[in-house]
Amino acid sequence: TQLLEQSPQFLSIQEGENLTVYCNSSSVFSSLQWYRQEPGEGPVLLVTVVTGGEVKKLKRLTFQFGDARKDSSLHITAAQPGDTGLYLCAGERPQLIWGAGTKLIIKP
């Protein structure tokens, strides 16, 4: 049983569209990290959110931590082919608990 559920598992959209990826749990986390993994590479940290209700922006990516620190979302505006990859969320408890990932494909 995954402690962190990510949805959707797979998403294929056209360049320019917007999308949201969700990371949900029934457990509270001290912090939550988002990573992106490209084929043949290890995951790379995008952002860490710590405070309930926190919103962080990284160019076209917006990350939000739920008020209760049990869930998070990643919103991408005007997706580009370079955004293609596997997006992973990981919650701290204190060791990192990982979601199964969302495979995102952006078609030109």
Partner 1 sequence: KAGVTQTPRYLIKTRGQQVTLSCSPISGHRSVSWYQQTPGQGLQFLFEYFSETQRNKGNFPGRFSGRQFSNSRSEMNVSTLELGDSALYLCASSFGASMNTEAFFGQGTRLTVV
**What is the token pair recorded at 22?**
């969700």
**Smallest distance from partner 1 to CB 91, Å:** 9
Cβ atoms of residues 105 and 11 within 8 Å: yes
Among 87, 99, 104, 106, binds partner 1 (CB under 8 A): 99
Q: Does 84 bind partner 1 (CB under 8 A)?
A: no
Among 8, 16, 44, 78, binds partner 1 (CB under 8 A): 44
Comparison of 1 and 26: residue with beta carbon closer to partner 1? 1
**What is the token pair recorded at 61?**
């990516």
Q: Does 85 bind partner 1 (CB under 8 A)?
A: no
